[in-house]
Structure formats: C-alpha cells, structure tokens
Amino acid sequence: MAMEKFDFFYYILVNLKMIVSKTTLLKWNSANKKRYVDLGYRFTQCGDEFEVDINDLSKSCTAIITVKCDFCGKEYTKTYKEWRSRHDKDDTIDACSSYKCRSLKTQQTNIKKYGCNCVFKNEDIKQKIKRSMMDTYGVEYTIQCPVSKQKYHNTMRKKYGVDWYSQTDEFGNKYWRTRLANGHYPTSKVERIMCDMLISLYGNNAHPSYIYDRICMDCMIDVNGCKIDIEYDGQYWHKNRKKQDANRDAFVYQEGFKIIRIKGNYEAPTIEELQEAIYYLCTTDNKYCEIIKDIE
C-alpha cells in the first residue's frame, strides 16, 4: 500500500493541473471501509456519503471527478478510474469530447508514437498497409481492386445516383461551407473591393461568397427579386477555364440567376460600371453582361 500511495502522489503531482476536483463524494461500504478508516476517515455506517480527498482515492475508484481540457480549458467529468488508467499508460493529455480537441490530442499522440501528426504519413505504416493490400487483393490501394471499386460504385449509385460521392450536390455544398468556415476560400483583393462596393449599394441584399448548391458565387445580389451572380474573372486564373465557366453559367441560368462577369487582372470595376450592368440586367430579359477591365 505504501508503494501504491507513493506512485499515486507522483501522478497527482505531475498531472495536478488537469484535475479540477479537490475532493469527491463516496459511500461507505464493506469493500472501502478498511482503506479509508486506515487513512483517518471516521466511519459512520454503510450507505452514508463521506467526502474524500482526491489524493486518497484508490486506482479502481469509480467516483466522478472534474477534469480540465488541456486544449480549450473546458471542464468536464469522468470517472477517476478512467482518468487514472490512461495516465498509468503515459497518456497524460486530457481532451474534452469536442471534435477539435479530440483531433488535436490524436495528432499529439501520433507525433509522440510515430513522429508525425497523422499515422498515414509514417513511411513504415504506409509500407505495411501496402504489403497487406498486396497480399490480400494484389493491389496497393483498395480502390484499385476491381471488386472493391465496383462495390463502391454500386453503393454510390444506390444512395446518390452517381459513381463518385464528389459528384453529388451534397458534397459540393458541404465542400464550400467547410472551406468558408475554415477561411480557405481564396478571395483576391480586387474581389473584396468589388464586394465592399456592392454591400455599400445594396446592403443586406448583397451576399459575398454565396453558396448555392455545388458552387460558391463571388457575390450574389437580389434586386427586387432579380438575382444576379457577380463574378470577378482574373485573366490568369480563367484563361484556360472557358469550358468550365460555360458549364457553370448554364447551371446558374437554369437555377434562375443572371450573371455579370468582370474580366480583368488587378483593376476593380467602378461603382458606376456595376450600377449600369445591374440596371441593364434588371430592366431587360438579358441574362448575361460583361465588364472589361485591364486585360490584354
């Protein structure tokens, strides 16, 4: 018992910052009576609650304690037995149940065990997976196996009506929303200037980075029910995208939008140019308008 208590104090001293609880409540029973009486607690009767110092808990105690997340600082509860068993295995990082914190903990654990934040970046692991795949299917990757590939396509067709999940509207919508939420949607300086001008003109009826179905519009405005997709086409990025832009435009028209494309390099359109193009589309049956800026 002396050695067990010494070990326990070592863990508490090392990981004290993680446990918020200083005491917890237990109930007297025949199994814990001798331990806590020997530690100086006064026995009343079995079934009575009594307050116990965290330092005096046994390794297998299932009392609820409060722990602080090492990543976000949020306090959460778990059993002392669960907390202690992980720390006995040198797992000294506490993470709450949020996806972000669990992910950060996984990355730290992988760095400690494999030298990288993702296990699949480790060359030994990658080679081991490839050898296993070669032995089982005769290919390095599952999707290369005709049987697995066909099974995947059958599942996709049954659920979504397409061969690949990336072809679904659900994927496109989720893709853009995730990129925007993480700040990964590329917006140039001239696009931001353009969007600021549109917001100054139309207020809440101007929607920068507007997600619709599988696409993300640079800015969408709604003028008395006339919905216009306004795109800034940088010459460098769009010089080889004529087919893609045409397919995108056909989809946007089909969904009831009109389109203004500003073609340039670094020069933003003026407020007057935007107003003129928007007025033209709102007062005619035309669906498309271009504003040509500094292009060669």
Q: Do residues 261 and 210 share a domain? A: yes
pLDDT in tens, 186-233: 578 888 899 999 999 999 999 998 888 878 899 999 999 999 999 998
Range of the domain at 237: 181-292
The low-confidence residues of the chain, meaning pLDDT below 50, are: 1-16
Supply the pLDDT for residue 84.
86
Give the Cβ contact number of residue 230 at 10 Å. Answer: 27
In a domain, 19, yes or no: yes
> Per the structure block, which two tokens stand in for 124?
């030994």
Q: What is the CATH number of the domain that holds 277?
A: 3.40.960
In a domain, 137, yes or no: yes
In a domain, 172, yes or no: no
Q: Do residues 90 and 22 share a domain? A: yes
Look over the chain and give the mean of its residue pLDDT values, rounded to a whole number. 84
Q: Do residues 284 and 185 share a domain? A: yes
Gyration radius of the chain's alpha carbons: 31
CA 267 to mean position of chain CA atoms: 35
CA distances from 200 to 13, 217, 231 (A): 59, 18, 17
Supply the pLDDT for residue 198.
94
Q: Do residues 14 and 70 share a domain? A: yes
Supply the pLDDT for residue 180.
62
Supply the pLDDT for residue 139.
87
265, 295 Cβ separation under 8 angstroms: yes
Q: Do residues 161 and 190 share a domain? A: no
267, 233 Cβ separation under 8 angstroms: no
Q: Do residues 154 and 191 share a domain? A: no
In a domain, 153, yes or no: yes
- Picking from 48, 77, 95, the residue at the C-terminal end of a domain is 95
Phi-psi region of 286 (alpha: psi -120 to 50; beta: other; left: phi over 0): beta
Taking the whole predicted model, whether its pTM rises above 0.85 is answered as no
Which of the 8 DSSP states describes residue 22? S
- Count of the separate structural domains present in the chain: 3
Supply the pLDDT for residue 219.
93
In a domain, 117, yes or no: no
Nearest CA among 222, 221, 244 for reference residue 233: 244
Q: What sign does the dihedral 240-259-187-271 (CA atoms) show?
A: positive
Strands 226-234 and 215-223: antiparallel
pLDDT in tens, 277-296: 999 999 999 999 999 987 55
Q: Do residues 193 and 156 share a domain? A: no
Q: Do residues 22 and 69 share a domain? A: yes
In a domain, 106, yes or no: no
